[in-house]
């Protein structure tokens, strides 16, 4: 005896049209005929040549304008409603299916059920009826792009965009599931992204439940929308389905949007179905992209093999999504406007203050030590110069040779390092000077001079000539053997010393500021990492406390934090296994699953375009 079930996968990928608000506007489509469906694909359009079906002029009261697509179940037309003056999409059941009374009744019944759904995230069904003995559905015409088209263009989506879609789809599924309607074919092709690039809608709601209606009528070849890569394990095995199957498909969809690939991939359907039933999906990973652990946990739970281990309804999923949004909002605020928690602030400022005080004390000590050394060098130069001059003028002064004295002073005047020289006798009378007007006059000490050093035969004074000019005045005794002949005053510039001291101070201050900034940034970054790791661990432990053992921490560091994350993951996995020992397991034979196209052609390898196939299972 042979029993079998058939599942139409990607049926009517092209049956839900995208729209425009005028009759002549066409949606963009990569070179195909006008695509208006979140489900449009080459498999849908090629399932039957258009020449086999003549486009009707009218469907009921609706005037047909163009054919938008066709699938294994129905044709989709762009039409105009003259009574309401609007454009819409009309889906007409294929003739061979319309002649089947049970299929026909089921189509109308489920279409009416879908028509009861009124939600911003679900395509609206306006009317259900029969025209020319063929059932039809009149529905909303959308202006947008199917999500699978966007994925082909972008390869993958950002985390923020994906989470935005996740929120909208979860709300739509929550509403539909509360009305008792499951979709059973959640995939990129059945999600429409509208022209605002923000809003998404689920298409073909309700038609996916047609198999239940036909099964209740005793039919053995029921059809239900589904795509291999997005099918739940129980759907692959032909077991009874409920809303949790939609949530599994939603997890596969999120995985695809984040990484650009489905959780399970294989070259042939047999291996793909085996992976769906047996293998554990890997964590989402994209180079250069940080995926929140909370989002990893959500997808991990959505992709559980056993329905009892998934979210039992969309409301529970929404609870974790809100937690994810809170985490993302906090992280965004920290990026836009650093909002330090008190621990990080105290730690960072404390470390920076300690380094600042230490460096400031060191700067003061080093600066004054260096300035003192440089000043000693300058005063030694002044002493040496004045002693040399005193030795040179001693003999002419003893001989009272005025000409020789003036000649010596004149030569010294040419020296750029010496600004002033004055020779005077023991009575204080100036004998020679670089300032000729002082000669034969009493020597007058410079005003504002400050004594900075003194020896037995000399003294050195510091004097500010102007705001940017400072000099040293060295007053030395002129001796010839042991006889005191007079005194000599030599003035040398201290500008080089002052400039060097200022430059040294500036360099030290700049180095201190750079060091402080480096210490502040490094301490802040380290403190933020510790805070983030602590927060992750705290949230993970809180989930464990609530009995949610599916929480895992990302192991991104090869240090103590990495070891702590590994230890936590091992603990969570051990607890999950311990508490799930008695849980029922998903099992089934995938070797006898046969896959064929709606035309009856057998296929063995998977297609990359979510093509329509029929899944059959034979049992002896």
Distance in angstroms (rounded) separating the CA atoms of residues 233 and 292: 26
Angle at 297 between CA 294 and CA 300, to 5 degrees: 155
Distance in angstroms (rounded) separating the CA atoms of residues 237 and 232: 9
Angle at 174 between CA 172 and CA 178, to 5 degrees: 120
Helix and strand numbers, DSSP H then E, in the chain: 15, 18
DSSP label at residue 429: B
Residue 425: other Cβ atoms inside 10 A: 16
Q: Give kind and range of the element (H or E) at residue 126.
A: strand 125-131
Cβ-based burial of 179 (10 A; exposed 0-12, middle 13-18, buried ≥19): middle
Largest CA distance in the chain: 146
Tokens standing for residue 406? 């003036």
Q: Does residue 91 have a known ligand-binding role?
A: yes
Residues in the chain: 620
Cβ-based burial of 486 (10 A; exposed 0-12, middle 13-18, buried ≥19): buried
Q: Is 137:127 a contact under the CB 8 Å cutoff? A: yes
Q: Choose among 551, 570, 606: nearest CA to 262.
A: 606
3-state secondary structure of 619: strand
CA 138, distance to chain mean position in Å, is 42
Q: Is 217:106 a contact under the CB 8 Å cutoff? A: yes
Angle at 560 between CA 554 and CA 566, to 5 degrees: 40
The annotated binding site for ATP is made up of 91
The annotated binding site is made up of 91
């Amino acid at each position: 005896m042979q029993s079998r079930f058939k599942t139409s996968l990607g049926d009517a990928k092209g049956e839900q049209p995208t729209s425009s608000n005028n009759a002549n506007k066409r949606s963009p489509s990569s070179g195909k005929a006008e695509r208006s469906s979140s489900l449009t694909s080459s498999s849908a359009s090629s399932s039957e040549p258009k020449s086999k079906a003549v486009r009707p002029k009218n469907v009921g009261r609706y005037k047909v304008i163009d054919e938008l697509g066709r699938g294994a179940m129905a044709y989709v037309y762009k039409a105009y409603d003259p009574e309401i003056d609007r454009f819409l999409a009309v889906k007409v059941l294929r003739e061979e299916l319309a002649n089947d009374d049970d299929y026909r009744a089921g189509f109308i019944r489920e279409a009416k059920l879908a028509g009861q759904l009124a939600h911003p995230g679900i395509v609206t069904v306006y009317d259900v009826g029969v025209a020319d003995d063929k059932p039809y559905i009149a529905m909303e015409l959308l202006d947008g792009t199917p999500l699978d088209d966007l994925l082909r263009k972008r390869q993958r989506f950002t985390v923020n965009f994906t989470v935005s879609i996740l929120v909208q789809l979860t709300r739509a599924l929550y509403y539909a599931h509360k009305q008792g309607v499951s979709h059973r074919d959640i995939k990129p092709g059945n999600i429409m992204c509208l022209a605002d690039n923000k809003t998404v809608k689920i298409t073909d709601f309700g038609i996916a439940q047609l198999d239940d209606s036909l099964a209740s009528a005793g039919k053995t070849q029921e059809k239900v929308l589904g795509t291999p890569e997005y099918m739940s394990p129980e759907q692959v095995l032909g077991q009874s389905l409920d809303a949790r199957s939609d949530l599994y498909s939603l997890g596969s969809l999120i995985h695809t949007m984040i990484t650009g690939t489905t959780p399970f991939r294989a070259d042939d359907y047999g291996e793909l179905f085996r992976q769906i039933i047996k293998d554990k999906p890997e964590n989402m990973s994209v180079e250069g992209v940080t995926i929140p652990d909370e989002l990893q946990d959500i997808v991990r739970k959505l992709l559980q093999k056993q329905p009892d281990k998934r979210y039992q309804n969309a409301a529970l999923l929404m609870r974790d999504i809100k937690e994810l949004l809170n985490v993302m909002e906090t992280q965004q605020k920290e990026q836009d406007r650093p909002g330090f928690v008190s621990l990080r602030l105290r730690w960072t400022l404390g470390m920076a203050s300690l380094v600042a005080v230490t460096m400031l004390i060191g700067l003061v000590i080093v600066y004054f030590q260096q300035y003192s050394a440089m000043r000693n060098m300058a005063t030694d130069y002044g002493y040496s110069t004045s002693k040399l001059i005193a030795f040179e003028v001693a003999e002419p002064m003893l001989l009272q040779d005025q000409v020789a004295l003036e000649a010596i002073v004149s030569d010294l005047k040419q020296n750029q390092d010496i600004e002033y020289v004055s020779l005077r006798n023991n009575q204080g009378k100036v004998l020679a000077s670089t300032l000729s007007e002082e000669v034969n006059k009493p020597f007058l000490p410079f005003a504002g001079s400050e004594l900075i050093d003194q020896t037995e035969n000399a003294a050195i004074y510091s004097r500010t000539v102007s705001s940017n000019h400072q000099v040293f005045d060295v007053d030395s005794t002129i001796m010839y053997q042991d006889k005191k002949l007079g005194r000599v005053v030599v003035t040398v510039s201290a500008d080089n010393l002052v400039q060097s001291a200022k430059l040294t101070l500036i360099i030290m201050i700049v180095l201190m500021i750079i060091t402080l900034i480096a210490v502040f940034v490094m301490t802040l970054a380290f403190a933020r990492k510790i805070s983030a790791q602590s927060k992750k661990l705290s949230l993970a432990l809180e989930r464990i406390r609530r009995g949610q053992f599916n929480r895992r921490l990302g192991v991104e560091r090869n240090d103590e934090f990495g070891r702590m994350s590994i230890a936590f993951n091992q603990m969570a996995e051990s607890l999950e296994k311990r508490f799930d020992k008695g849980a029922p397991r998903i099992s089934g034979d995938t070797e006898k699953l046969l896959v064929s196209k709606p035309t009856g052609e057998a296929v063995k390898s998977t297609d990359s375009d979510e093509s329509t196939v029929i899944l059959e299972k034979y049992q002896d």
